[in-house]
Structure 1
């Protein structure tokens, strides 16, 4: 997706107020610096910005009225008036005491109880943001393709590779042919064998991991249905993806690298995809799951030794 495409309002329903903060956190890293200033102001103080005119917000952020309107449209609203209404709703939600807007970073000298509380909150926020921003139409299309696929290839490296392995083993247990590839050479070698009716899934939080993009490109050229699970929907991986599933991430800090929080959101998307496929293929998935449970139980029983 190019920035020009992303700046055009899609015409769908604008995000609910509760989803606005998630949208800001997800899209801010891919915005221009001037649009980031608008998004940061919106996220930092929804009540204050909701009271501002488009001119007032432009002056507050040192940008232009056009930048404010483009930011509103990028966030999914037809215009600035609609964004102001959502901001007012978000401010009211925060004032209700449901949750703090920002979680403090973990400090080196934090007691372990505080570490647990902060991580738990950040994990919850990451999952809530991902759920709020997940395009269920795109997800449904991926479920349909995967449920009838001859073969499913999954590409990911590092932490994303672990998520790919998790998805592959889940799909295998319901009787589908699925393989996760973290070695870039093997990934491309396998992608060459794909054809229409197969599915290729690339998992990359940054959207720019070359070792993941290349096999997806090959799969795309071979006619397979291609999917990107990424935190950057405007990243390079998306140009080879028929479907994009966007993940969110908590703020990165010195003691909590991005890989930890991005994996949380990726695992939620993977679980949603798996459950959807299991629902679509229930008649074959249920017996396959039962057979795998029985095989594992037999393997660990004393009589099997």
Structure 2
């Protein structure tokens, strides 16, 4: 979950000083990110130690780390926008749009790197290596991401499968066992077919993982491991939100961590699968 959202809906036990700081950072945006600890302390009438403790309550070792994460979350916003993403203008040039998209995507990946939870990725890779089968489930655009993940991971010798049709998802959910891992890709975590599948797989004793942007969704309630990503949104006609880039980033990270964990065997298998694929074009 992004720092802005965590500040807007704090899960910590906030003291009076904490509430002062929450209001300060939400009200001042990027200006607060460039303020020194002395300036923040003076503006909020609290001690330096209280400011440092506040950053730690949100999971950061230092105030600097907290401010970097907040600045990344604010992205391309200026001091007056306070949470509103840069709009895409229908009449702007292609070059202007490209620069905005580049900035948005850089912010998206920075946010994802902050939110992802590296311990979750490490735990997931260990579960994948020890599993009998790894099932990737996704519907719609998430289905394409799930298919890419399964194909990539299968190439290093892991029995990874993907299902994107609701009937196939439920069929294989009914056959899953406690030796398997089920990985759901869902931005909102509210897709009915995936929620029903997760409930069934959970009853079967499978390890459940969600790659998602939400921790308050129905899908999240069934997960053993959650890998979080950010989403960017920008105004274009009626609005647009996208998370594909951040999910691809997570899939690549999982893939590389698996290779690191498995070692030479994975590298050898990857080369063998690559050779097999290339032999198809050579035989034409």
The root-mean-square deviation of aligned C-alpha atoms, in Å, is: 3.4
Please tell me whether the aligned partners of residues 24 and 43 of structure 1 are also in contact (alpha carbons under 8 angstroms).
no
| Alpha-carbon distance, 1:174 to partner | 1.0
List alignment gaps of at least 5 residues for structure 1.
Answer: 1-21, 56-71
- Distance in 2, Cα, partners of 1:220 & 1:91: 34
Question: Against the structure 1 CA distance between its residues 121 and 93, is the aligned structure 2 distance closer, same or farther, given a 3 Å change threshold?
Answer: closer
Counterpart of 2:82 in structure 1 is none
The offset of 1:127, in angstroms, is 0.7
1:126 and 2:77 aligned: no
The residue number in structure 2 matching 1:23 is 2
Deviations 1:132-189 (A, max 9, x none): 1211111110010001211011111122111101100011111111111111221111
Q: Is the 8 A contact 1:106 1:115 kept in 2?
A: yes
Q: Secondary structure at the match of 1:294?
A: helix
- Go from structure 1 to structure 2 and tell me whether the alpha carbon gap of 1:152 and 1:30 turns closer, same or farther (over 3 Å shift): farther
The answer on 1:223 being equivalent to 2:218 is no
**1:253 is aligned to 2:235:** yes
Partners of 1:28 and 1:236 in 2: CA distance: 23
Residue in structure 2 matched with residue 277 of structure 1 by the alignment:
258
Separation of aligned partners in 1, 2:227 and 2:220: 10
The answer to whether structure 1 residue 46 and structure 2 residue 32 are counterparts is: yes
| Matched residue, 1:179 | 161
Corresponding residue for 2:281? Answer: 300
When structure 1 is superposed on structure 2, of 106-115 and 277-286 the one drifting more is 277-286
Q: Structure 1 residues 83, 196: closer, same or farther in 2, change over 3 A?
A: closer
Give the TM-score taking structure 1 as reference length: 0.72
| Mapped contact 2:69–2:114 kept (Cα < 8 A) | no
Distance, in Å, in 2 between the alignment partners of 1:197 and 1:54 is 56
Structure 2-normalised TM-score? 0.77
Corresponding position of 1:238: 220
Q: 1:25 to 1:204 in 2, by over 3 A?
A: farther
**Structure 2: tracts of 5 or more residues without a match:** 12-18, 47-52, 79-84
Which residue number in structure 2 is paired with residue 208 of structure 1?
A: 190
Other-structure match for 1:267: 248
Match of 2:91 in 1: 109
SS where residue 251 of structure 1 aligns? Answer: strand
Q: 1:251 to 1:298 in 2, by over 3 A?
A: same
Question: 2:88–2:234: 8 Å Cα contact kept in structure 1?
Answer: no
Shift of 1:253: 2.2
Aligned residues: 254
Q: CA-to-partner distance for each residue in 1:69-116, whole Å, 9 max, x for gaps?
A: xxx98xx7428xx9994598449979xxxx754563211011111111
Query: Contact 1:199 / 1:224 at 8 angstroms: preserved in 2?
Result: yes
Instruction: Give the Å deviation of 1:44.
Output: 5.6
Distance in structure 1 (CA, Å) of the matches to 2:219 and 2:43: 37
